[in-house]
Structures are given as structure tokens and as C-alpha cells.
């Protein structure tokens, strides 16, 4: 059991044994022992202060880069999407964006403000919090290229401000302070009067023509190995269309695994490992998955 002493109680949504397939883009996953969607930052701080320090914490935005195993998640899940959603210009021209905001909204608003490069955010199918956690990127841009500073919250509910230099940043990789989670960021762009919403629509149309948009997936499953593309390797290995249970390697884009309708998390994870093993055997390359896998097997 999770030990909690919430005093006057939290104001947000607090659920027990909440099925995580409702909160992930793959539409798979067992229940979260505790699922909490705070009303605001103060409510989140109250919740964190009441948790036993040993309670595992998992943070979820849109659940678009997350595979929750069928046995579910022990401890507490904190949901940020729709809660931390502020987006505004700062006095010095930088952009303040909170972690629960969809990356696509950042792209659209920056286009309206005439700021760039920000269009690439439209190709990231998650929230800013997730993009910060993994240095997500699309269309040649990466999240941390635009970051000046971030705000985090720790297990005790204390808020911290960190500069970019407090983190080790790489391709789809970010290391920073332990047991702190992103709640907002200060992003720096240039004045780009040529940036338009039409440009974003063109990028998304190109993406839609090459990726299985609209089907349950997590986006790209694997990181691109240096000097190559995971999708090319998977296709060259003849793995397009490979299916285990209800999980299938997309026929449109080989670095996507889709839920055909009745997949389990175990189906998806087994297919991920099958692809990795085949690529290692055929090319001697170890693919690294960028999707985050959490929870217990059933």
C-alpha cells in the first residue's frame, strides 16, 4: 500500500487501480495503483508532500512515448496533460511553456508570434514534459536546442530552477538532477516573420503521407543509429508487416509498431525485442528503443 498523509486532501482527480490503456497512445497497459491528475501546482505539491518517500513515481503526459506493461504500475502516476498548460511570452521575449502543453500547440503559437525555429515541435506527438525528458525531436530540430532554463519539482514538492548547463544532453537522452520532474521551461527563439501556420500544415501533411497517423502507436520506436535510420534497417531486414498477437510493424513506416485492435503490452514488447534481435543478427547493430517501458508483466 502507498502511505499518504494528505492533510486537508487534494483537489485534483485521485483514482485507484486506473487502467493505463486509457492514457497511452498505444491503448495498452495495466492499472496504476494510484493515478493523480492535480488541479494545479499547489495541489501537486500537497500530493507529493503526502507520499511515502519510498513510493515509486511515474509521470505521464499524453502517453505517446510510453509502454505500460500489462501488470500495471506500482506506486503513483502523476498526469500533467491539461494541467500545466500555460504558454506565454516573457518580458525579455523568451517563451514560457509548462510541461503539460502539447508540443504541437507550441509550434502553432510560435508561428502566430513569428518565432522560430519552432515548427519541428509540430512533429513531436507528446507534451513538452516528455520532450524535455528525452530531448525529443522532429524535422531536424531538437527540444533542448531551444531551452534556456527549466523548472522542476522534487519528491517533497519543492520547485527548482535549473539552467541548461545542469543537464547532460544528447540524442534522445537527458541526464539531470535525480528525483526531479519538469514542470515548465523557458524557450528561446528568433524573430522569424516568414514562419506561418501554412508551413506547419505542410510539414504535418508530409508526415501523414509517410507515417500511420491515426492508428494506435507510440511514434518512432527506435532511435536512429549513428549514420543510419532505424526504419531503413527494419525494412531491409524484411520486417515490415511482421505481427505478434495484435501488434504489427507498420507497412507504411517500419519504425512504427501499431496496435491493430487487440494488442497487449506483451505483444508490443515481444515485437520490439524480435525486431532488435533480427537487426542485431543481420546487421550487427543494436537498436535502442526510445519508447519508455514501465510497469510489471502480467
Which CATH number goes with the domain that contains 63?
A: 3.30.43.10
Cis? peptide before 115, omega within 30° of 0? no
Q: Is the domain of 180 the same as that of 221? A: no
How many distinct structural domains can be found in the chain? 3
Q: Of the candidates 134, 9, 166, which has an alpha carbon nearest to the alpha carbon of residue 64?
A: 134
C-alpha cell at 266: 506483451
Q: Is the domain of 92 the same as that of 162? A: yes
> Is 110 within a domain?
yes
* Dist. CA 170–CA 166, nearest whole Å: 13
Q: Is the domain of 177 the same as that of 123? A: yes
* Of the residues 79, 107, 124, the one at which a domain ends: 79
Q: Is the domain of 116 the same as that of 151? A: yes
Q: Is the domain of 75 the same as that of 95? A: no
Q: Of the candidates 119, 124, 166, which has an alpha carbon nearest to the alpha carbon of residue 147?
A: 166
Would you put residue 115 in left (φ > 0), alpha (ψ -120 to 50) or beta? beta
Q: Is the domain of 50 the same as that of 118? A: no
C-alpha cell at 213: 497517423
Q: Is the domain of 99 the same as that of 165? A: yes
CATH of the domain at 236: 3.90.78.10
Per-residue pLDDT tens digits of the chain, which is 298 residues long: 344 444 458 899 999 999 999 999 999 999 999 999 999 999 999 999 999 999 999 999 999 999 999 999 999 999 999 999 999 999 999 999 999 999 999 999 999 999 999 999 999 999 999 999 999 999 999 999 999 999 999 999 999 999 999 999 999 999 999 999 999 999 999 998 888 898 899 888 988 888 998 899 999 999 999 999 999 999 999 999 999 999 999 999 999 999 999 999 999 999 999 999 999 999 999 999 999 999 999 9
* Dist. CA 34–CA 79, nearest whole Å: 11
Could you give the C-alpha distances from 234 to 66, 72, 92, 143, 197, in angstroms and in order? 21, 29, 46, 26, 34
> Is 196 within a domain?
no
> Is 222 within a domain?
yes
Q: Is the domain of 222 the same as that of 176? A: no
Q: Is the domain of 120 the same as that of 172? A: yes
C-alpha cell at 174: 537527458
Quick count: other Cβ atoms within 10 Å of Cβ 165? 8
Q: Is the domain of 49 the same as that of 98? A: no
Predicted pLDDT at 196: 85
* Of the residues 79, 99, 131, the one at which a domain ends: 79
Predicted pLDDT at 8: 53
> Is 197 within a domain?
no
Q: Are 106 and 188 in contact (CB under 8 A)?
A: no
* Of the residues 79, 102, 131, the one at which a domain ends: 79
> Is 167 within a domain?
yes
> Is 123 within a domain?
yes
Predicted pLDDT at 1: 38
**Residue positions annotated with a catalytic role:** 172, 220, 290
Q: Of the candidates 108, 100, 189, which has an alpha carbon nearest to the alpha carbon of residue 143?
A: 189
Q: Is the domain of 72 the same as that of 125? A: no
Q: Which domain holds residue 34?
A: 13-79
> Is 244 within a domain?
yes
pTM above 0.85, yes or no: yes
> Is 219 within a domain?
yes
Q: Is the domain of 94 the same as that of 165? A: yes
CATH of the domain at 125: 3.30.465.10
Predicted pLDDT at 185: 98
Name the phi and psi angles at 147, rounded to 5. -85, 135
Amino acid at each position: 500500500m502507498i502511505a499518504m498523509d494528505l492533510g486537508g486532501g487534494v483537489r485534483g482527480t485521485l483514482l485507484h487501480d486506473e487502467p493505463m490503456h486509457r492514457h497511452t497512445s498505444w491503448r495498452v497497459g495495466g492499472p496504476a495503483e494510484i493515478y493523480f491528475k492535480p488541479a494545479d501546482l499547489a495541489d501537486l505539491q500537497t500530493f507529493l508532500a503526502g507520499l511515502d518517500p519510498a513510493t515509486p513515481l511515474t509521470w505521464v503526459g499524453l502517453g505517446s512515448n510510453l509502454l505500460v506493461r500489462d501488470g500495471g504500475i506500482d506506486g503513483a502516476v502523476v498526469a500533467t496533460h491539461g494541467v500545466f498548460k500555460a504558454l506565454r511570452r516573457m518580458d525579455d521575449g523568451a517563451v514560457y511553456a509548462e510541461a503539460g502543453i502539447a508540443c504541437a500547440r507550441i509550434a502553432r503559437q510560435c508561428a502566430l508570434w513569428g518565432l522560430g525555429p519552432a515548427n519541428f515541435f509540430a512533429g513531436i506527438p507528446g507534451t513538452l514534459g516528455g520532450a524535455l525528458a528525452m530531448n525529443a525531436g522532429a524535422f531536424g530540430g531538437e527540444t533542448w536546442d531551444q531551452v534556456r532554463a527549466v523548472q522542476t519539482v522534487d519528491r517533497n514538492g519543492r520547485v527548482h530552477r535549473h539552467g541548461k548547463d545542469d543537464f547532460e544532453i544528447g540524442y534522445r537522452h537527458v541526464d539531470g538532477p535525480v528525483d526531479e520532474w519538469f514542470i515548465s521551461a523557458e524557450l528561446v527563439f528568433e524573430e522569424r516573420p516568414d514562419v506561418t501556420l501554412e508551413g506547419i500544415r505542410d510539414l504535418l501533411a508530409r508526415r501523414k503521407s509517410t507515417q500511420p497517423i491515426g492508428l494506435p502507436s507510440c511514434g518512432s520506436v527506435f532511435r536512429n543509429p549513428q549514420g543510419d535510420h532505424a526504419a531503413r534497417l527494419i525494412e531491409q531486414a524484411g520486417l515490415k508487416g511482421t505481427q505478434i498477437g495484435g501488434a504489427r510493424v507498420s507497412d507504411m513506416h517500419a519504425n512504427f509498431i501499431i496496435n491493430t485492435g487487440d494488442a497487449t503490452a506483451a505483444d508490443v514488447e515481444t515485437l520490439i525485442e524480435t525486431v532488435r534481435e533480427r537487426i542485431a543478427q543481420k546487421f550487427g547493430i543494436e537498436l535502442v528503443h526510445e519508447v519508455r517501458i514501465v510497469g510489471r508483466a502480467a
